[in-house]
């Protein structure tokens, strides 16, 4: 019988396939108590399952390349660390030894106990880590099941179909996409979660907050994911299938039309030139940026070099990577963001830091670089050497105040002096810019003008810092809202100060690559966008449909709005 469920589109598109359910009830929990002579064997069985889960994660990590290595790798690394957590492991062993629980029951109880601890936390960032616990425990449970049943083999066969789950970890998504996953229906989740962002970059249709998905959809049911209209159709009719085929034809036609824009200039309807830059971190990103007519690289994530190595990358390794980027862009400007890691990822990059309760508000970005001058000097030397091969700008992340920019400039000057003394050719002066992602930097942007040649607004972090809402926390999905007036006023402030002082301002967060936000950003005065290369054609197309002068006249009303709903209403005419 045809049934329609409503959800929120996290990644647009449509997909048709057989449903494959992943939910806790599918992982069997054995509540029978152990006999005394079974205890040590059960502990060994649990340890084998944990080791198997570690191996699975490591293999998954090794298979990731390019943007996926960054976007997904950090979550896999976090889950691997949880599997090393002594409290988690000790608690499990004690439950088996003292309580005579079987491994599956101990895992379930430990998950419930830790989940309650996380849920009771006041900090929304820490509270949202509950999902990581669930995903790690679920992976060990699957490994246990693999030892005694064919569940893992069934799970491995779940490709080329529609995944129906409460949530999905980015690592699992990347792995399944590689085997032909067509779409995702999540009962929970948020449109701004890392999984949702990954789904959009992979062009994988995804619905989140789909109530009753786990109870209404049966394993093997034929389902149509309609992420264009926020619906999933269970047992679609001939009419539904006809609509799907029509969408396929139109999507293919639209793809061919957008391809013709690859080498076209980016101009508004009233002929105002707009610059589209690419976010990149590898050669495939660079090739795609060139193919789609990028104005340059607006954000090059240098930390991928640190995350892919087993230690700190040396000057030569970094120099060669930056040089190849610059040569690959054929004379177009390249903006290199200096190391942007926090305590949660620094260990993986060869930097040992004290564990922090809240890494999002800890020693990360420029704070980390200035605390490790030897590491920072190595990176700055590599950048300065590479800059002789083409136009380069240096972008400093997580800036809070002018003194940080001054310290970076001082170190850059010292590195340049040393390199010249060693006989290297070094550019006289590189442009150095501040990344505006901390509210203090946005509010006090005028205090950064003297020490910054340009600004880049990072809306992903700025939004969650302004709203105190973790984008990965499902419970805060409605609060994490890029249309929130307070955020828009900060963005407009940075753009305005940049325009008055002659400093270029770009925006490199998720908003830049989403055509839904293009009218808003043009209205606020933005002319430089930086996004994933795969988003450039859609944004270029959207820019060409809009009249900038008309949008700019709307700016005062947008900045006086008192709610995101009011902002959306004002922009409705441009949809």
DSSP string, 219-279: TT-EEEEETTTTEEEES--HHHHHHHHHHHHHHHHHHHHHHTTTTS--B-TT--B-EEEEE
Active site residue 194: yes
Q: What are the E-state strand segments in 328-368?
A: 334-337
The whole-angstrom distance between residue 225's C-alpha and the CA centroid of its chain comes to 23
In 64-157, which ranges are continuous DSSP H helix?
66-71, 73-82, 86-99, 103-119, 124-127, 130-148, 151-156
Active site residue 334: no
Q: Which of 79, 130, 175, 194 is catalytic?
A: 194
- Token pair listed for 53: 């889960």
Residues 6+ apart with CB under 8 A from 230: 6, 7, 8, 9, 207
Q: Which of 79, 334, 508, 532 is catalytic?
A: 508
CA distances from 425 to 317, 384, 390 (A): 18, 9, 13
DSSP string, 2-32: -EEEE-EEEE--EEEEEEEEE-GGGS----P
What DSSP designation does 349 have? G
Angle at 556 between CA 550 and CA 557, to 5 degrees: 90
- Which SS3 state, helix, strand or coil, does residue 398 take? coil
- Token pair listed for 420: 């010249």
Q: Please identify every residue annotated as catalytic.
A: 194, 508
């Amino acid at each position: 019988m045809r049934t329609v469920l409503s959800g929120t589109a996290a990644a647009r598109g449509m997909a048709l396939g057989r449903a494959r359910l992943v939910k806790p009830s599918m992982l069997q929990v054995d509540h029978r108590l152990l006999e005394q002579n079974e205890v040590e064997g059960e502990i060994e069985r649990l340890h084998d399952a944990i080791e198997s889960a570690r191996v699975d994660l490591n293999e998954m990590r090794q298979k990731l390349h390019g943007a996926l290595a960054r976007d997904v790798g950090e979550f896999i690394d976090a889950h691997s660390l949880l599997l090393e957590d002594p409290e988690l492991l000790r608690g499990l062993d004690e439950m088996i030894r003292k309580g005579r629980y079987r491994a599956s029951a101990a895992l379930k109880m430990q998950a419930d106990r830790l989940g309650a601890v996380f849920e009771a936390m006041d900090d929304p960032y820490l509270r949202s880590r509950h999902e990581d616990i669930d995903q790690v425990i679920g992976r060990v449970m699957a490994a246990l099941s693999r030892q005694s049943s064919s569940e893992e083999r069934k799970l491995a066969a779940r490709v080329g179909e529609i995944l129906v789950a409460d949530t999905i970890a980015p690592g699992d998504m990347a792995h399944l996409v590689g085997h032909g996953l067509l779409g995702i229906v999540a009962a929970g989740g948020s449109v701004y979660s890392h999984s949702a962002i990954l789904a959009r970059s992979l062009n994988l249709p995804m619905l989140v907050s789909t109530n009753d998905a786990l109870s209404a959809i049966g394993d093997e049911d034929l389902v149509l994911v309609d992420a264009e209209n926020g619906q999933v159709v269970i047992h679609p009719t001939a009419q539904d299938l006809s609509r799907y085929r029509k969408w396929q034809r139109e999507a293919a036609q639209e793809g061919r039309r957008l391809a013709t824009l690859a080498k076209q200039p980016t101009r508004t309807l009233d002929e105002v030139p707009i610059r589209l830059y690419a976010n990149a971190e590898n050669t495939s990103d660079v090739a795609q940026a060139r193919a789609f007519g990028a104005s340059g690289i607006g954000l090059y994530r240098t930390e991928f070099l640190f995350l892919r190595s087993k230690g700190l990358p040396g000057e030569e390794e970094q120099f060669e990577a930056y040089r190849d980027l610059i040569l690959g862009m054929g004379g177009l400007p390249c903006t290199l963001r200096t190391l942007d890691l926090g305590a949660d990822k620094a260990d993986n990059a060869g930097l040992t830091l004290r564990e922090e309760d809240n890494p999002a508000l800890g020693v990360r970005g420029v704070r980390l670089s200035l605390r490790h001058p030897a590491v920072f000097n190595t990176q700055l030397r590599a950048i300065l050497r590479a800059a002789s091969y083409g136009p380069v700008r240096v972008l400093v992340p997580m800036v809070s105040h002018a003194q940080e920019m001054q310290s970076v400039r001082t170190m850059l000057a010292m590195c340049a002096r040393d390199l010249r003394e060693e006989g290297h050719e070094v550019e006289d002066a590189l442009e150095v810019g501040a990344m505006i992602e901390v509210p203090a930097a946005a509010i006090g942007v005028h205090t950064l003008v003297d020490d910054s040649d340009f600004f880049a607004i990072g809306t992903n972090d700025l939004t969650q810092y302004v709203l105190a809402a973790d984008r990965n926390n499902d419970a805060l999905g409605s609060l994490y809202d890029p249309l929130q007036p307070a955020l828009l006023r900060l963005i407009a402030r940075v753009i305005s100060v940049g325009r008055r002082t002659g400093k270029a301002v770009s925006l490199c967060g998720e908003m830049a690559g989403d055509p839904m936000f293009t009218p808003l950003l043009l209205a606020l005065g933005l002319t430089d966008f930086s996004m994933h290369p795969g988003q450039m054609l859609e944004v270029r197309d959207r820019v060409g449909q809009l009249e900038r002068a008309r949008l700019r006249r709307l700016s005062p009303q947008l900045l006086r709005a008192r709610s995101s709903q009011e902002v959306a209403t004002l922009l409705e005419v441009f949809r």
